[in-house]
A and B are shown apart, each in its own frame.
Chain A
Amino acid sequence: MRKRRILHSCIKILDRNRLNTLFMILGIVIGIAALSLTFSIGKGTEKQLMDNVKKQFNSNNIYIGAGRGQMGSGPQSQGPANTLKIDDLEAIMEQIPGIAMYDPVQWLPDKEVIAGNNSLTTMIKGHSAESEIIWNRSVQKGLFFSSAEEKAAARVALIGSKLATGLFGESDPVGQQFRIGNIPFTVKGVLENQGIDAHGFDMDMDVIIPITTMMKRVMNVDYIMSASLLVEDVDNMDEIVLSITDILRERHYLSDNETNDFSIMTPVEVKDIVEDMNKVFTLILPLITGVALLTGGVVIVLIMLMSVNRRRSEIGLRKAVGARQKDINFQFLMEASLVTLGGGLLGIALGILGTKILAGKMDYTFVIPWQNIVFGIFLPVLIGVAAGIIPAKKAARQDPVEALKN
């Protein structure tokens, strides 16, 4: 009952000293708002990236990239990337059980595509007929190219919806002709919409042609850039990755002291990489705002200390009329934590508002992570209690005789 009355009295005092309260609250509001904003953006982009990755990368996919070095730094960064062949994949299929199918990939960025008077620059990708299943991307109009067409290196193409509009306007693109460079192609189908991929490319601008056509007719190469393998049982993933490594090393005549001239990624690693990329939002920026929050805490300590000095006679009076040391201590701790709790709640609200505005403007997923709510409440209260300890102790120890002296 006494605690409740003191708490009630705290609220009144904070209300009566609004300017003081405002200054105390300000740092926390800004800190928490910034914290929840950056964290929301981080979680939002992470969710977006993961959704994209999931769309393009089944949980039972194994990804093989050509060239030394990790995917994160780009496959061609170290050494030649011309050693991965379709024969390698066929050898893998023959020797390792439990792989359902594979999709070799070759691509060319910034290639000119022309239809009539329309010309656009975009990404050309070579895939197998199986890619429809492996990449989980079908057509919304027309048909996917067939294995026969793949075998024959037919000049058929699947195009993204945005590219279709860009090349053919409103007319039905299926069956129409266009050129990649000088080579004429027929549109076989329009791809399902997929949006922006993890690298920032607009996948609705894609051109997908059979891998054979890509290698023989467009690029004139005998190697591929990467491949995706569909594993039948996810539990065998690690084992299969080891076997693939052995086969590829042997086939590429790598000696023991040479590093792999390819890299293998599983969905677990992809997820790790995405999370890594997002650390700046989910870890580093919140850490910086955490420092800002700490500054807010220090400001509260200073204002509270001034407040204790200013309210000496109030403290003396409270003691004279029966307040114990712990009552005074409790009062000042509560004043500090009420202020910070209020600041935290206000900060969360501002953060949500800011995230909503940003999400609307920048076209990304609007997420309010549960961490925001927890941090926005517990962190400020923690700061409040910590910031209140010294001033509260000082107030509690005040000698009533000194404090009440005329």
Chain B
Amino acid sequence: MMQFKNISKIYHKNGEQEVRALDKVDLLIEKGDFVAIVGASGSGKSTMMNILGMLDRPTSGDYYMDERKVNSYTDDELARIRNRTIGFVFQKFHLLPKTTAVENVELPLIYSDRKNIRGLGLKALEKVGLKDRLNHTPDELSGGQQQRVAIARALVNEPEIIMADEPTGNLDSSATSEILTIFQKLNSEGKTIIIITHEQDIAEKANRVIEIHDGRIIKDYTNKGV
């Protein structure tokens, strides 16, 4: 469970102009949910994900994860929580170049106490259907395959939450539906999925849709029939 209480994030553009990327947001995301955060660019949805994912800290307000107040944690503690409980997927994949698929997948395990790194890496690749591509480097893989490697990397340390920032933004429609199928499958296995997108048809696949505008939640509804 992730909870925002009166969260604000204020940037200072050019040192002067104040930008409220998030403006007193209250939000509760239940464990096991599939949430889409939608909004135009500049609406504050990326800021929301960065704070939810503990990559960034709010200017004010409190953030709770499973009753623990995240605000008070040190950077090192946040890094540990990210490593154990959150898997990230990015629009641009962010795979290490010249590095094989399986080694990319194993990256989070370097910073964990887990043993049998190779075994876990292979298991994660198998989950996204790329076990036969383990020794391929990113430039030998299609965009969809690269994003699947990135998803395997997000999964490898068995986190509860997967956060994806425009995960299909650079993909064609068939790759997009492949990726979405994987997310739906992961959600059915009990993982909390949070996807940030500006595409309505992707949002429709989610269980719950949160729409942001100017740093505020303007719509928050559950998709019927999902």
Contact = CB atoms under 8 A, between A and B. Distances in A.
Interface of A: 1-2, 5-6, 9, 12, 16-17, 313-314, 316-327, 400-401, 404, 406
Contact of A317 (B80, B94, B165): B94
B56 A401 contact: yes
Contacts of A401: 50, 55-56
A404 B94 contact: yes
B53 A320 contact: yes
Nearest to B115: A1
Contact of A314 (B76, B96, B108): B96
Interface string B147-165: 0000001000100000001
B76 A324 contact: yes
Contact of A321 (B91, B97, B103, B111): B111
A400 B165 CA distance: 14
Interface string B79-91: 1101110001011
Interface of B: 50, 53, 55-56, 75-76, 79-80, 82-84, 88, 90-92, 94, 96-99, 103, 107-113, 117, 153, 157, 165-166, 169
A117 B95 CA distance: 87
Which residue, of A5, A327, A406, has the highest number of chain B Cβ atoms within 10 A? A406
A402 to B, nearest CB: 10
Contacts of A325: 75-76
B56 A321 contact: no
B81 to A, nearest CB: 9
Given A320-B82, A321-B88, A401-B50, A9 B55 contact: no
Given A12-B103, A325-B75, A404-B55, 12 more contacts: A1-B113, A17-B98, A314-B96, A318-B111, A321-B82, A321-B111, A322-B157, A323-B111, A324-B76, A324-B111, A401-B56, A406-B92
Contacts of B88: 320-321
Given A9-B110, A406-B166, A321 B83 contact: yes
Contacts of A320: 53, 55, 82, 88
Given A16-B98, A404-B94, A406-B166, A322 B55 contact: no
Contact of A400 (B55, B98, B166): B55
Which residue, of B80, B91, B94, B108, has the highest number of chain A Cβ atoms within 10 A? B94
Contacts of A317: 94, 96, 107
B86 to A, nearest CB: 8
Contact of A322 (B82, B91, B98): B82
B91 A406 contact: yes
Given A404-B94, A406-B91, A406-B166, A324 B75 contact: yes
Contacts of B112: 322
A322 B75 contact: no
Contacts of B50: 401
A318 B94 CA distance: 10
B79 A5 contact: no
Nearest to A318: B107
Contact of B79 (A12, A316, A319): A319
A167 to B, nearest CB: 74
Which residue, of B55, B92, B169, has the highest number of chain A Cβ atoms within 10 A? B55
B41 to A, nearest CB: 10
Which residue, of A17, A325, A404, has the highest number of chain B Cβ atoms within 10 A? A404
Nearest to B107: A321
10 contacts: A314-B96, A317-B94, A319-B79, A320-B82, A321-B107, A322-B82, A323-B111, A324-B111, A325-B75, A327-B79
A132 B50 CA distance: 91
Nearest to B77: A324
Which residue, of A313, A314, A317, A319, has the highest number of chain B Cβ atoms within 10 A? A317
Contacts of B153: 321
A317 B157 CA distance: 15
Contacts of A319: 55, 79
A322 B90 contact: no
Given A314-B96, A322-B82, A401-B55, A327 B166 contact: no
A404 B108 CA distance: 16
A2 B55 contact: no
Contacts of A16: 97-99
A128 B107 CA distance: 83
Contacts of A322: 79-80, 82-84, 108, 111-112, 157
Nearest to B74: A324
Nearest to A406: B91
Given A401-B50, A401-B55, A404-B55, A321 B98 contact: no
Contacts of A406: 90-92, 165-166, 169
A12 B99 contact: yes
B110 A313 contact: no
Contacts of A2: 110-111, 113
